[in-house]
Amino acid sequence: MSAGQFIRVRGQVQGVGFRPFVWQLAREMGLTGRVWNDPGGVGIEVWGEDIDAFAAALRARAPLLARVDAVEAGPLDGPAPPGFAILESRGQGAETRVTPDAATCPDCAAEIRSPGRRQGYAFTNCTHCGPRFSILRCLPYDRAQTTMAAFPMCPDCRADYENPADRRFHAQPVACPACGPRLWYEVAGDKKPGDPVAQAVAELRRGGVVAVKGLGGFHLACDAANPQALALLRARKHRPAKPFALMAAEAALHGIAALTPADLALLRDPAAPVVLVASRAVLPDAVAPGMACLGVMLPYTPLHHLLLHAFGGVLVMTSGNLSGEPQVVGNAEARDKLAAFADGFLMHDRDIARRLDDSVERAAPPMVLRRARGRVPGVLPLPPGFPDRQVLATGGQMKGAICLVKNGQALLGHHLGDLTDALSVDEFHKALVDYAALFDHRPTLAACDLHPDFVATRAAQATGLPLVRVQHHHAHLAACLGENLWPLEGGPVAGIVLDGLGLGPDGTVWGGELLLGDYTGFDRAAHLRPAALPGGDAASRQPWRNAVMRLDQAGLAPLADRLFAGQPVAALRAMAAGGVNAPLSSSAGRLFDAVAACLGLAAAAQSHEGEAAMRLEALAGPPGQGYPFGPGLDPAPMFRALAQDLADGVPPATISARFHDGLAAAFAAPARDLVAQGRAWAVALSGGCLQNARLHHALLAALDGVPVLTHRTTPANDGGLAFGQALVALAQGAGESSDQPEGGLETV
């Protein structure tokens, strides 16, 4: 290299302490120059000896929260300056990555418990932790562009902020009690004097419910060990069975859950997600009725640390929202919407720039069930062979999330909720505008689902861009391929795609599919034998309807009459026979509902999405001999075997296990055949049913010896759909508009 070099560092390199890291590294190596932030990332001008080693260290020794995508270098003319300087940010725009919110680091956690001006301060942070995306209004990431702009720094905080040797150097949310956000406790709109945390803890110990303002919105908290408090919260939220998320210090978590090393590593991750872990069954059943797992997280803000330390136990920490609505974020909104739920409010005056639910993940097998706070707006690299083109994909209906493609990367947005809810629809449209502005996104192509009535589909149409309509299950397959960096020209794979519902190109409702394809197209190699969904959407809410249809198909109508004697079975059969609001579907999700209903699990009605299937999974015993399926993936033989087990008094845990293992074997066999025949190079597993760890493990066992691709960092459910849509659009688009359903030939 020449004596002087210009170095460009691209990636997640702003708001993570990268400039002071560069400053310290340059001083250590005896180099001179300057460093700054700009829309492209971090720019460095450097002079001295062995700049190659300096450039290599930028990647190898980067700060904890940094994600370096590229280090680019070129010669630089001019004399070397004295020393090394950190300059102010330059330019406008967005070519660099935004850092997700990060859990409180060990240094800050220790500081709030130690004598000093930040002892007990609920908004302590540094360049290694704290709010980022949740407070950012626009780029570049500077204090004036965040919700911290309302809090001018005091002289002490300014000194920290301007000292390159301090861990708070250019930490935009830096604050202390003298100048930063403040915390208070209020009841019925009245702010109460005294220690806010102590007052909240007193209410929690009385068995009350407290609304707590966090990073991306409000939580509702109560004592997880108090059955009366749990019953009170469930009654107030009208949430009879959906599991509650829990928060506790790590030591307390060991008492309620059997934590593996992988669980602990994920819990300690800076993203601080809710992690599904094995329950020790010591908490009241009302925490997670019928579940074998708990959703737990560690405290991830100083406020949470202070609250948990003072409380000394395990707290429910569930989203603060009306049923079906997005999480509440504003103080006035919280007073209006959560007053009926909460006995008190632990509030603060730092605004939340965007709603971010807690991410939900599992360590074994690794999977993301909800991609949100702490993970977004992290990006995904595009697989080899894809063109560099800006694309917008709008996703699906039930788990809204959009995807933006730019500069060879895909930004899969945060969980936006069910787009059948009006306020979630508002959040969806806000996200379209927000992400486009924040990331300077100018798409030339849009992608959406085949379903014409989805909110997301209509939004894509409204852009006026060339449009690629992507079949639902093809998008799932493409998302799995993309996460695994399967090349554009990598060849076809066998995709086992199992979920609730998705419109097929033939106009029927799909959901239990074996696809043979890649990004550009697919054939439907096999699928579950369809059954009617009498009542349409009602069949998704009432599992007994699916059970009657499947039992009737298997010649077991008398069993259906006995199991569901209290239901209008005759009217249901008439509806199906007449084809009145009874579309045919190959849905694997509805098959799970049918089996669950036969075992009496949420048979009459589900109180939340996936309840029946989740309880069926939790019930399942160890692996064994699975139930048989007939030719064409016909479940009728499986139901006849299940009926015999019911008659013989076989334990429900065994019946559930036999169903899971039989379903896995039924799909694995033809998928293996496609690989053995040389028609597929691997098997990909996707769709919402693959969140079921029991089914996931059974499929992996049944596919032993075959290359298998799975989701690990993107949701297998509809939260990852937009990523797959974007990849299909890039593969198919090539400047053309497509308003016709895409797909392939159905293969029997």
Q: Give the pLDDT confidence of 319-335 residue by residue, as tens digits.
A: 998 877 889 999 999 99
- Tens digits of per-residue pLDDT, 548-562? 999 999 999 999 999
Beta-sheet pairing, 391-393 with 445-449: parallel
DSSP secondary structure letters along 265-311: HHHTSTT--EEEEEE-S-S-GGGSTT-SEEEEE---SHHHHHHHHHH
- Kindly tell me if the per-residue pLDDT of 671 is higher than 90: yes
Q: What CA–CA distances, in Å, run from 443 to 133, 284, 667?
A: 22, 50, 38
* Lowest-confidence pick of 143-147, 389-393, 711-715: 143-147
Round to the nearest angstrom and report the end-to-end CA distance of the chain: 62
Contact predicate 230/287, CB 8 Å: yes
Q: What is the pLDDT of residue 305?
A: 98
- Kindly tell me if the per-residue pLDDT of 678 is higher than 70: yes
Domain boundaries, the chain: 4-86, 183-360, 388-484+713-733, 531-709
193 preceded by cis ω (within 30°)? no
Q: How confident is the model at residue 735 (pLDDT cuts 50, 70, 90)?
A: very low
- Tens digits of per-residue pLDDT, 440-458? 899 999 999 999 999 999 9
Query: What is the DSSP-derived secondary structure letter of residue 98?
Result: P
Q: Which two tokens stand for residue 232?
A: 């009170």
- Kindly tell me if the per-residue pLDDT of 2 is higher than 90: no
What is the CATH number assigned to the segment(s) 531-709?
3.30.420.40
Distance of CA 551 to the CA centre of its chain: 35
Angle, vertex CA 623, rays to CA 617 and CA 628, nearest 5:
90
- Tens digits of per-residue pLDDT, 50-68? 899 999 999 999 998 899 9
- Tens digits of per-residue pLDDT, 559-605? 999 999 999 999 999 999 998 899 999 999 999 999 999 999 999 99
* Lowest-confidence pick of 136-140, 166-170, 607-611: 136-140
User: What residue spans of 489-602 are helical by DSSP H?
Assistant: 537-541, 543-553, 557-563, 569-578, 588-598
Handedness of CA 20, 25, 30, 34 (dihedral sign): negative
Report the C-alpha gap between 153 and 160 in whole angstroms.
10
Contact predicate 40/8, CB 8 Å: yes
Contact predicate 362/369, CB 8 Å: yes
Report the C-alpha gap between 167 and 160 in whole angstroms.
8
Q: What is the pLDDT of residue 747?
A: 22
Report the C-alpha gap between 683 and 675 in whole angstroms.
8
Q: Which of 246, 277, 272 is nearest to 261 (CA)?
A: 277
Distance of CA 97 to the CA centre of its chain: 19
- Kindly tell me if the per-residue pLDDT of 739 is higher than 70: no
Residue written as token pair 């788990």: 399
Beta-sheet pairing, 274-279 with 360-363: parallel
Q: What fold characterizes domain 183-360?
A: DHBP synthase (3.90.870)
Looking at residue 294, its amino acid is L
503: helix, strand or coil: strand
694: helix, strand or coil: helix
* Lowest-confidence pick of 89-98, 108-117, 240-249: 89-98
**Average pLDDT for residues 462-466, to the nearest whole number?**
96
Q: Is 19 a catalytic residue?
A: yes
Q: Same CATH topology for 388-484+713-733 and 531-709?
A: yes
81 preceded by cis ω (within 30°)? no
Contact predicate 588/687, CB 8 Å: yes
Q: What CA–CA distances, in Å, run from 437 to 14, 35, 76, 392, 402?
A: 18, 26, 33, 13, 14
Q: How confident is the model at residue 738 (pLDDT cuts 50, 70, 90)?
A: very low
Q: What is the pLDDT of residue 608?
A: 92
Residues in CB range of 538: below 8 A, 6 or more apart: 545
DSSP E strand stretches across 158-264: 183-187, 190-192, 210-213, 218-223, 245-247, 257-258
* Lowest-confidence pick of 160-174, 606-620, 707-721: 160-174
> Phi and psi of 400, rounded to 5°?
-60, 135
Q: Helix 472-483 to helix 721-733 angle, to the nearest 10 degrees?
A: 90
77: helix, strand or coil: coil
Q: What is the pLDDT of residue 336?
A: 95
Q: What is the pLDDT of residue 73?
A: 93
- Tens digits of per-residue pLDDT, 331-354? 999 999 999 999 999 999 999 999
Q: What CA–CA distances, in Å, run from 651 to 273, 529, 609, 611, 639?
A: 35, 27, 26, 20, 16
- Kindly tell me if the per-residue pLDDT of 424 is higher than 60: yes
572: helix, strand or coil: helix
Sheet bearing 41-47, strands edge to edge? 67-75, 4-12, 41-47, 32-38, 84-86
Contact predicate 455/425, CB 8 Å: yes
Percentage of the chain lying above the pLDDT 70 cut = 97
Q: Which two tokens stand for residue 102?
A: 């990060």
Q: Which of 514, 529, 498 is nearest to 683 (CA)?
A: 514
Residue written as token pair 């909240």: 200
How many Cβ atoms are within 10 Å of 27's Cβ, its own excluded? 14
Q: How confident is the model at residue 743 (pLDDT cuts 50, 70, 90)?
A: very low
Beta-sheet pairing, 257-258 with 344-348: unpaired
DSSP secondary structure letters along 648-670: TT--HHHHHHHHHHHHHHHHHHH
Could you tell me how many residues make up the chain? 748
3-state secondary structure 382-415: CCCCCCCCCEEECCCCCCECCEEEECCEEEECCC
Exposure string for 271-284, b = 16+ CB within 10 A, e = fewer = bbbbbbbebeeebb
- Kindly tell me if the per-residue pLDDT of 705 is higher than 70: yes
* Lowest-confidence pick of 9-23, 155-169, 222-236, 397-411: 9-23
Residue written as token pair 């559930």: 656
Q: Which of 485, 474, 479, 473 is nearest to 520 (CA)?
A: 474
Q: Is 37 a catalytic residue?
A: yes
For the chain, helix, strand, coil in percent to 5 are 35, 20, 45
- Tens digits of per-residue pLDDT, 686-698? 999 999 999 999 9
- Kindly tell me if the per-residue pLDDT of 742 is higher than 80: no
Q: What is the pLDDT of residue 96?
A: 62
Report the C-alpha gap between 529 and 629 in whole angstroms.
10
User: What residue spans of 238-270 are helical by DSSP H?
Assistant: 250-256, 261-267
Q: What is the pLDDT of residue 542?
A: 97
- Kindly tell me if the per-residue pLDDT of 741 is higher than 60: no
- Kindly tell me if the per-residue pLDDT of 95 is higher than 70: no
What is the CATH number assigned to the segment(s) 388-484+713-733?
3.30.420.360
Q: What CA–CA distances, in Å, run from 166 to 21, 24, 159?
A: 11, 11, 9
Q: How confident is the model at residue 740 (pLDDT cuts 50, 70, 90)?
A: very low
Exposure string for 648-668, b = 16+ CB within 10 A, e = fewer = eeeebebbbbbbbbbbbbbbb
- Tens digits of per-residue pLDDT, 192-212? 999 999 999 999 999 999 999
- Kindly tell me if the per-residue pLDDT of 142 is higher than 70: yes
Q: How confident is the model at residue 535 (pLDDT cuts 50, 70, 90)?
A: very high
Q: What is the pLDDT of residue 94?
A: 56
112: helix, strand or coil: coil
What's the predicted TM-score (pTM) here? 0.93
- Kindly tell me if the per-residue pLDDT of 744 is higher than 70: no
Q: What fold characterizes domain 4-86?
A: Alpha-Beta Plaits (3.30.70)
Q: Which two tokens stand for residue 298?
A: 């560690």
Q: How confident is the model at residue 92 (pLDDT cuts 50, 70, 90)?
A: low
Q: Which one from 8, 10, 27, 37 is the annotated catalytic residue?
A: 37
Report the C-alpha gap between 214 and 304 in whole angstroms.
8
Percentage of the chain lying above the pLDDT 90 cut = 88
Q: Which H or E run contains 235? A: helix 227-237
Contact predicate 288/178, CB 8 Å: no
Contact predicate 478/727, CB 8 Å: yes
Q: Which two tokens stand for residue 29?
A: 């190596």
